[in-house]
Amino acid sequence: MGENAEHTRVPSPEDITQAEKYKEEANKFFKHQNYDAAISLYTKAIELNPTIAIYYGNRSFAYLKTECFGYALIDATKSLELDRNYVKGYYRRAAANMPLGKFKLALKDYETVMKARPKDKDAKLKFTECNKIVKILAFEKAIAVEENKKTIADSVKLEAMTIADEYTGPKLEDDKVTLKFMQDLIQWYKNENKLHQKYAFKILLDIKVLFMSQPSLIDITVPDNEKFTICGDIHGQFYDLLNIFELNGLPSNTNPYLFNGDFVDRGSFSVECIFTLFGFKLLYPKYFFMSRGNHESATMNHMYGFEGEVKAKYSAKMADLFTEVYNWLPLAHCINEKILVMHGGLFSRDDVTLKEIREIDRNRQPPDEGLMCELLWSDPQPQKGRAPSKRGVGIQFGPDVTKNFLKLNNLDYIVRSHEVKKDGYELVHNGKCVTVFSAPNYCDTIGNLGAFITLTGNNMRPTFTMYEAVPHPNVRPMAYANSLLKYMYQ
């Protein structure tokens, strides 16, 4: 990563000159959004001259752009150790803490920036927005303590919601999701219409009851010669979700699916994605599966757009109900006792069993550490052992960690998602750790392919189908994201 590559020797004049050249070259790559190349060059500059705060500050910014918030945090902190007056260091550190949900720490740094630049409008905006979040969270915490056991679901009064005659959209039949309803819903959404709030609330209430009845780890049996499909992150890219169904068929009793977390956020059609997926889960509860991702959480939804989208299309109450529902999403799935599927990855200790995963008490917001956190946040690394996460949450685990986990639990391999891959998928750890990512041209900028996995009950080897992004209506990604998140990387 570069942090450990610093030299203790004093840089020579040649080193100093070359480091500056690397920085200038890196800045050009950064400008053209080639952040990985920029990071590599900033790292070279740091190796030659580790005494310059701006090198760390710039690399921190590039890490922010690639969502390596853990690395960004380390670099921003290092830049401030080298130069306490380096104002951009405080900016970067605050920007790294925000998506990690560490709003109070971010606020402290924005306050420092404000004091250093009292006339800076941008600094004032960021401080004000961050302060607002801190106050809202404190208020919500106080309310939650007061209300204690009451749930949002209990307070929803469906009978009070009337459906006007002019509503011509999809309708539940006898309060149930049917195949016709799902087909109508997909067409309705394609035409950029909104499902009536009464039906939307009904789906959420029903899906909550269904998820509550399930364990944290679900066992799936795929019979011989029958197909099973695993999809990775969708991230609100509704038209790409429909393309998966075009390529692979609609979900059914004979065409089962598992969607492996991060259904929402970033893409601005997250509401359409989640109601489509929840609808299929209700229609085919034993043949359609959903795992929780790290973005099925209140903090992520607040920052990355889902909360804003639900409020814009429906209401704050529905946004709160989604949070309640997400708390009950299963955390992992085990297929034919041979493949474990989770959103993030493996663990900070070697003795974790499937039984222990099955017994996780999941009805809560994802914690900052422990099994639940690591299932949602961890990533593989090429080198052996474990390392702190580039994201600042979860861990990074090596091929030996994967091998030991599989051996202990008598599994063949793991499937996870959570990371953009150029081809939509990647095999690492001698093929024992498979990543699948199903949102092509992520955020309309990355240019990656999407992919999904198919396998059969008697041939558990993964087959990959890759596809390009399809056109979508002119609503840009992150359209509903928290304004602070939109501005803080500037």
333 is catalytic: no
* Residues 6+ positions from 280 with CB-CB distance below 8 Å: 182, 251, 257, 288
- Residues 436 and 124: their CA atoms lie apart, in Å, by 40
Burial bucket for residue 341 (CB in 10 Å: 0-12, 13-18, 19+): buried
* Residues 6+ positions from 252 with CB-CB distance below 8 Å: 284, 287
DSSP-H helix ranges across 353-467: 354-358, 371-377, 399-409
Which residue, among 331, 173, 185, 187, has the nearest Cα to 261 in the 3D structure? 331
* Residues 6+ positions from 121 with CB-CB distance below 8 Å: none
- Residues 188 and 229: their CA atoms lie apart, in Å, by 25
- Residues 372 and 346: their CA atoms lie apart, in Å, by 10
Which residue, among 442, 435, 417, has the nearest Cα to 290 in the 3D structure? 417
Cβ 326 vs Cβ 153: under 8 Å: no
Segment holding 426, helix H or strand E: strand 425-428
Residue whose entry in the numeric block shows the structure tokens 């949002």:
152
Handedness of CA 259, 436, 235, 439 (dihedral sign): negative
Cβ 304 vs Cβ 485: under 8 Å: yes
- Residues 168 and 179: their CA atoms lie apart, in Å, by 17
Handedness of CA 78, 81, 82, 88 (dihedral sign): positive
Which residue, among 366, 97, 375, has the nearest Cα to 217 in the 3D structure? 375
Degrees to nearest 5, angle at CA 179 with 174 and 185: 90
3-state helix, strand, coil in the chain (%, to 5): 50, 15, 40
Which residue, among 296, 259, 294, 281, has the nearest Cα to 450 in the 3D structure? 259
CA 237 distance to own-chain centroid = 13
> Of these residues, 235, 295, 333, 418, which one is catalytic?
295
Cβ 448 vs Cβ 424: under 8 Å: yes
Question: So which residues are the catalytic ones?
Answer: 295
